[in-house]
Amino acid sequence: MNEIECHDKNCPIHGDIKIRGNKFIGKVVSDKAQKTVIVSIDYTTYVPKYERYLRKRSRIPAHNPECIKAKKGDLVEINEVRKISKTKSFVVTKIIERGLA
């Protein structure tokens, strides 16, 4: 791994934000915002009435630290942190797999 200078105070490794709570794995579907990515998470919920699993998808805005730089199409791990902004309370902690594009 090459060292990248990181001045992001909301970075879980170099900043002062602490990881806690839920952890998810999802795919980056948007990297249009400067330091935010939208991560899509697939999950299933059980519906007792029909005794079936329902496939669901949720989109979570997550902070994208300078040293991680997740891009659209990447498979990433996100972790819950304290609220960073009005809509963000997750941070990208690592890239599991780089996207092709």
What x/- string results for residues 6 through 45 when contact with Zn ion is judged by CB under 5 A?
x----x-xx-------------------------------
Select the residue interacting with Zn ion from 67, 72, 95, 99 (CB under 5 A): 67
CB of 65 to Zn ion, least distance (A): 5
Joined tokens for residue 42: 């697939």
Task: Tell me how many residues contact Zn ion (CB under 5 A).
Answer: 6
DSSP structure class, residue 15:
S
**CB within 8 A of 101, min separation 6: which ones?**
71, 72, 73
Beta-strand relationship, 90-97 and 52-63? parallel
Rule CB under 5 A: is residue 70 a binding residue for Zn ion?
no
